[in-house]
Copies of this chain bind each other. A is one copy, B any other.
């Protein structure tokens, strides 16, 4: 499949920002809208992109797409709509010369979450969302469906079945209908072509998508993208109840300024710093350690919200986390000047806290699957990093460092043993073969 992206509109409602650049090149959550869409679609196997833009934006888009071509391994064609004032239906019409096969059609100012696109490209016609969980319904374009086809479309339908997501899966046949209308009328909107062609309605409901017309919508889109970035990360209790509430706010601010890897590195430095503070004040160190645990969520959130996740980033982050935990426990241990026997407890705590991670990562390395997905009981085991760090802060604040080490020594190693037992129970069938 190819993709046609309509980017000929002049985006007059965006205020200052679109005086210099087209709407599709505005950054939302750290990445240009068009960049996000091209990246996600190319990940789904679409490698040829046809951009319809106006003469004014031609050069800007050309430069931008040339960069994407190299980094994403895609091909692109720019088609000029010399009369953008004739409407987005006319923009689709001019794409006709470049389109060869079945294609997806979307707008340069529409954002979608990855799961939406994954489902949408398997459907046909106009993709309709029956729920519209993330949009302003009063402003949205509605559709009425009859026998699987779009019967009516518009902002002010009295009875409607769902919302126009601005995403289509079409065949070149649609150009006949576009041509009919273009010959009859000066201004042709896409919705007129949809109605005229009686396009099928493909349902993809409940996922995040929206169009960004105003600076307020741009902010809102960022808000949702950061919020969605927390989905399915397998957080512990403390993360869900406390850390994520704060880290997502920080991410919303930082996503416009820093890359995920810069944040990984800064969080690492902050964690090491929190460890050293133990020599000055243990309660303060505990609080800083908990803050570093909150900050530790930011790199991942920003990476996911801005489609910049990388396995390498995740890998480095994990190894550095182990060093932060080690540094904190060792510095805390040194600060309390333990005796011979207590160093044994400390050793168990230090070892156990790496082993919690080792035992789950080694599982993934062996089975190529997430232990939390395959062994659901794992989710209820206490002792994940967020929980251990929160406990550490509390015990540091109440000056219970020795008790903390005893708890960590027992909790972490017990968790590893339970992990082994749970994995054994789930997988032992394998051994009888």
Contacts and interface: CB of A to CB of B under 8 A. Distances in A.
A427 B312 contact: yes
B358 A322 contact: yes
Copies per complex of this chain = 2
B319 A427 contact: no
Given A347-B330, A358-B354, A358-B357, A316 B420 contact: yes
A351 interface: yes
A430 B361 contact: no
A395 interface: no
A368 B368 contact: yes
Interface residues of A, number: 52
B71 A315 contact: no
B347 A430 contact: no
B365 A361 contact: yes
Interface string A257-280: 000010000000000000000000
A333 B416 CA distance: 23
29 contacts: A308-B433, A310-B430, A310-B433, A311-B430, A312-B366, A312-B428, A315-B363, A315-B423, A316-B424, A318-B366, A319-B420, A322-B358, A326-B351, A330-B344, A330-B348, A333-B347, A334-B344, A343-B343, A347-B347, A347-B350, A350-B350, A351-B354, A354-B354, A354-B355, A357-B358, A358-B361, A364-B364, A364-B365, A368-B368
Interface of A: 39, 71-72, 261, 308, 310-316, 318-319, 322, 326, 330, 333-334, 337-338, 340, 343-344, 346-348, 350-351, 354-355, 357-359, 361-368, 416, 420, 423-424, 427-428, 430-433
